[in-house]
Amino acid sequence: MVSIAHVGHGYWGKNLARNFHELGHLAALVDPVPAVTEAAAKAYGVRAASFEDVLADPSIDAVSIASPAGLHFAQAKAAMEAGKHVYVEKPVALDVTEAEALCALAERTGRVLMVGHLLQYHPGYVKLRRMVEAGDLGRLLYVYSNRLSLGKFRNEENVLWSFAPHDISMILGLYGAEPASVSAQGNVSFLPGIADMVTVQMHFPGGGSGHVQASWMHPFKEQRLVVIGEKAMAVFEDSAPAWEDKLLLYRHTIDRSGAVPNPAKADAERIAVEKSEPLKDECRHFAECIETGNTPRTDGKEGLAVLRVLDKAEKALRANLELQQPAR
């Protein structure tokens, strides 16, 4: 049984700790607040430890990291240098050079490096990706994703880094490639320098595009991925209340025989998707990759590809926000 120490028992980290515990892998908990560490460790019947203790413990096979993003690189690097496999929440790092170094270190040490891109493990997205790879939708024309809600406001990162990594990861997975070009625009409404609405555009080699809109200034919650192919269209809507409505297929056809293309609409088809908890599937996948030596679906290289897009989008966003500043 793979033995995993979890680092960071905050808003999202506690969900990782719970799932690793339920899977029987949780061996120790680490958090910078001693009271949090002690309480969580007691609740799960594991030991509270420091990060240094975990790295020095030969009985710990792997480390799960849900610390603030600025700590991801240093902690993942230290863990792999200590011989541990690493799961790290998105983003894998804040700097492309650091992410490249982590990928190289994982390859050199033979350690599993996995990045927490949760929606890659959602059964609805897994089914959709298989359909795309099987050619059920035909050649992809464009994909767009909305990740919208009201709050929670952040002051340590903008909505691009908080929301968009999930959607960028899914779109890159569907195209199976990195984009040839990336652009971005956004708005700053309240906190100086913190964009609370962002749109990202990606254009892929050989045609096809991807578009992401992310906002925490939106009147209602929407998490929807729309895939437009030459043969069919699909909608993966994680925010749909009913599980059977998570993945819909539209077999619309377009008659091109005339001077103007003429669409023929078709009713939505519900695609059967096995119900499971995506985070538990993700945690199970990490442990299985350690046991089998398989490469994770969202390995370090996949995390690096997403980070490259985020980096280009951030630079474009800053440039466009600068243009929005009023003349002095």
Q: What is the phi/psi pair of residue 53, to 5°?
A: -60, -40
- The superfamily in CATH containing domain 120-278+310-321 is Dihydrodipicolinate Reductase; domain 2 (3.30.360.10)
- Tell me the average pLDDT of the chain: 94
Tens of pLDDT, residue by residue over 133-145, are: 999 999 999 999 9
DSSP assignment of 255-276, as one string?
E-SSSS-EEE---EEEPP----
Q: State in words which class domain 4-111 has.
A: alpha beta
pLDDT of res. 8 = 96
- How far apart (Å, rounded) are the C-alpha atoms in residues 162 and 216? 10
Q: Model pTM?
A: 0.94
pLDDT of res. 323 = 64
Burial of 304 (0-12, 13-18, 19+ CB in 10 A): buried
Q: Where does the pLDDT of residue 296 fall: very low under 50, low under 70, confident under 90, or very high at 90 and above?
A: very high
Burial of 182 (0-12, 13-18, 19+ CB in 10 A): buried
Tens of pLDDT, residue by residue over 148-167, are: 999 778 877 899 999 999 99
If you ran DSSP here, which 8-state letter would residue 216 be given? S
Q: What is the phi/psi pair of residue 84, to 5°?
A: -95, 145
Q: Where does the pLDDT of residue 220 fall: very low under 50, low under 70, confident under 90, or very high at 90 and above?
A: very high
- How far apart (Å, rounded) are the C-alpha atoms in residues 142 and 167? 14
Report whether 26 contacts 44 (CB < 8 A).
yes
Alpha helices by DSSP H, listed for the chain, are 13-22, 34-44, 51-56, 72-81, 96-109, 123-133, 159-175, 278-292, 300-324
Domain boundaries, the chain: 4-111, 120-278+310-321
The answer to whether residue 328 scores a pLDDT higher than 60 is no
Tens of pLDDT, residue by residue over 30-57, are: 999 999 999 999 999 999 999 999 999 9
